[in-house]
A and B are shown apart, each in its own frame.
Chain A
């Protein structure tokens, strides 16, 4: 369009230049986005690549040679193994408890109008807007002054449940808001009591939301460093092991474990997405005339 305004004798050359320029202008944002995505992915590639490195010294910062040795011995460092097991155990407990009580909270907030609802919403938002270090430090102050429980697995569990709850509520709530309540009414018309309606209609339909929330809680817990750093006592989780090992050189096996965790999360997320699609199909199965 703009090329038509060019002086007549230079039309051919100008239009070629202009075409290139216009192409660049049109795609500039895509090219920029491409660089941004490379920026996001390169460190992940580096993590995976350096799990195959054969470093010269104890520091795994310079590429030396390709080897599979550290993948063969991935579970041979006993401290790393026990840290991983602690992390997984902690995340499992924290996820189950936080998902259960967070889901109840989400149901209360979406389904009921009651006095104190705004305060409850506020109570859920504030922990997500608080820097982790303040959360960790205040909880440590609390345990220090009370003198109980002793810092360790139990205080870690308390802390992890605490910071997971808000995220569970937010995820489950978004699923509940888009919920078609006529399905529940239909169940009740057919003679189901409140509990049966919940178990047989509501729960299966919000299950993908609960699963997504649980996955998020699990990921947050396994990955947490800051709050754990403050409240772990002598208990060592996977991130705390890495932090401790940083001074004396982090073993290459850590990169292999990080790669395994990465792939594991990918698979779990793929599974959740499939579940979500399935539930959407289930919810869509009803005569069109019933749609509002």
Chain B
């Protein structure tokens, strides 16, 4: 697709989401849309590093959790304004991304080694969050509810939907930029052949480090949103495997390194999740069984994801 067409399609999709609260009054559907957008955001984040960059992170919860904890701690313990906390929390996620990317790529960790290291770091942070006092350890942190724009909390779901939509728009903009910019071309070249990219004079370490930081920043947004929306965070939610898996699976089944893949993957996951909840009740584990099976089947039969299948037609 040409750039103009893609931009038009993105604007149309965002417009549809923006109009949704006007048309839909059902709280259930609005919650579902919010979960779709949240998953889209996480998949967009993962896609930047895993799809465009080809570095499969198995521990993206590290950035989600850091954004969430920073947001909660800065508001509850430091008494900062929510907007200031938002900026600092996103900075914290991005810096963590830069540090992890810097360390991992400096020592030449690629492929499965990179996956292992990200997994281990998320796990390390989970244990740490369980052990230190300022995260409230296993009890977690509760955020007091003040519904107002200045505290980034809203009385109804519509406000949260627009908050999320703004960042999903940024996620789309980043994906478009990666598809059509010099930096994106460098990143794709690095993914396809690091040595060739290096031979062409691309600073592959710097490119991958930047991609990790941008990806971490976007994943941090999801963590920040989670805290504002659910007003609660604990180590299992923040750094557990659930969000690492969700970000990865949605991005992969949607189609990696595409603009619409994350949204398609998120839609597929949330709709399937909702269906299984209806069919099987809220039994623990069921939706993740489906996610895992879907991941295996898609990689086996449709490695280019939903976006790839649609394109082929």
Q: Are A and B part of the same complex?
A: no
Q: What is the interface of chain A, defined by CB distance below 8 A to chain B?
A: none
Q: What is the interface of chain B, defined by CB distance below 8 A to chain A?
A: none
